[in-house]
Amino acid sequence: MKRYEQLVELLATDIRNGRLAPGARLPSIRTLTAQHRLSASTAFKAYYLLEEKGMVRARPRSGYYVIGPPAQAPASGAQAGSREKRKSALVSSRLDVSELVFSVLDAVQDADIVALGSAFPSADLFPLQRLGKSLARIAPRLHGREMVAHLPQGHPALRQQIALRYLAMGMAQPMDELIITNGALEALNLCLSAVARPGDLVAIESPGFYGSLQALERLNMKALEIPVHPQDGLDLAALARALERHPVKACWFMTSFQNPTGTSMPPDKKQALVALLAQRGIPLIEDDVYGELYVGERAPWPAKAWDREGLVMHCSSFSKTLAPGYRVGWVSPGRFGEQIARLKLMTNISASLPAQLALADYLQHGGYDKHLRKLRHAMEARLASLLAAIARHFPSGVRVTRPPGGYFVWVVFDAGFDALALHEAALARGISVAPGPIFSARRDFRHCLRLNGGQAWDQRLEDAMRTLGALARRQAPYAGAV
């Protein structure tokens, strides 16, 4: 019996015997892991299984509580209908994903871990020494009025360079409207706070970026999960049906090289998405941090390119293309600029001025486009190596996305596969992966995982993929597969 199964049996026995009465609060994940010497993901799996048995229920920002022992089993038809009803429900009022996310991501910080679960490509891809020279060059200019003259909107030198990049894509974006932030994640969070309030319903992707789930959890908002198609991104028909039924206040979508699947919406779907939301006056928070990492000759236009009503807030950063540690991002805010600027001022006043000026100097003099061309070729080659390794080592029958850019691969096993168990087993062998449940408010996608294709390919990575494939084969229904 596995450890989480042992814990389930222990708690279920206490519930049946009345030692844990209905309404009793169960130990927190942190307490459970300390008492039983378990990982957080193992403790979560135990509580998930108890939820499925109808014995416990999670309360938002509170924890898990006993409902009681399971009632007499209904007829099989009713049971199936109940399961189908749960499956079709898209609204998740309970958002408590952060602890699971942190338990997964903590492993990435260890330098000895093979970081296939990381959200960042390896540092060897970035021109850090050249950026250091830009930082040294601008240092003498950091004095007096210059240090406080452009808060909170950001330094005009950087905003001008970003506006030029929009123009190069064929999009006119006045620099005076741009707001510089501490990375794209702050931009996204500021946009969310500008257009929604606690208790509001926000449409997100499923599977989707766990940062959106954590933001909704922190702000006590509810999630409406919209499915993502593995070929062309967000399911517009599902979104249209959901908007008919639910009072959605905002949408948070990644339209190009989506995290975790790597898929992109084609231009006609992006245009249709903007038109659909404009009909209802619903703001779109567009997360576009991977847009520059395309394969081919031209960058994909973001949904912002079709925005005529100012409802699209386009957020991006340099964290995935140039300088992760500099934490500089931006938002093109549409009609919400004043609200976002005020929230920025109330939150932390300004992004780092030295980092802003160093990036502006590099963009003007450092050959950013040449760097991006080299980066894209490297990403494409590394992604191809990862896909080839999956074909060599993983069980036959797994489905894998083949993204047209970015560096994430979404791996789908058969139903019944346990990606959390694979995560634990891999971690014990010095390998991190990102299991599917961290990308869903309802903790779906337990048979899926995300792999990072932005790592430098070497024998260590090849060995890690061989180990992952062997671990996957040990799980039913792959036991003994070739």
- Note the pLDDT tens digit of each residue in 24-68: 888 877 777 777 777 766 777 777 777 767 788 766 445 677 875
Give residue-wise pLDDT tens across range 147-159.
Answer: 666 777 999 999 9
Span(s) in the chain for CATH 3.40.640.10: 130-366
Given this model, what pLDDT does residue 339 score? 96
**191 pLDDT higher than 50:** yes
Given this model, what pLDDT does residue 268 score? 97
Which residue's entry shows tokens 């399911």?
Answer: 235
- The CATH architecture assigned to 98-124+370-473 reads Alpha-Beta Complex (3.90)
Given this model, what pLDDT does residue 54 score? 76
Span(s) in the chain for CATH 1.10.10.10: 3-83
Given this model, what pLDDT does residue 204 score? 97
Which H/E stretch holds residue 273?
helix 267-280
Of the candidate CATH numbers 3.40.50.150, 3.40.640.10, 3.40.50.10490, 3.40.50.970, the domain formed by 130-366 belongs to 3.40.640.10
Return the percentage of the chain with pLDDT > 70, whole number. Answer: 88
Q: Are 47 and 56 in contact (CB under 8 A)?
A: yes
Cis amide bond preceding 260, omega within 30? yes
Span(s) in the chain for CATH 3.90.1150.10: 98-124+370-473
Strand pairing report for 201-206 and 284-287 = unpaired
Q: Compute the distance between CA of residue 207 and CA of residue 445 in angstroms, rounded to an integer.
A: 8
Q: Compute the distance between CA of residue 482 and CA of residue 462 in angstroms, rounded to an integer.
A: 18
Any idea which fold 3-83 has?
A: Arc Repressor Mutant, subunit A (1.10.10)
Given this model, what pLDDT does residue 39 score? 75
**111 pLDDT higher than 90:** no
Given this model, what pLDDT does residue 58 score? 67
Which H/E stretch holds residue 287?
strand 284-287
The helices-and-strands tally (H runs, E runs) of the chain is 16, 17
Give residue-wise pLDDT tens across range 6-17.
Answer: 788 888 877 877
Hey, is 64 helix, strand or coil? strand
Q: Compute the distance between CA of residue 90 and CA of residue 110 in angstroms, rounded to an integer.
A: 36
Which residue's entry shows tokens 């408010």?
Answer: 441
Hey, is 63 helix, strand or coil? strand
For 344, the token pair is: 């920025």
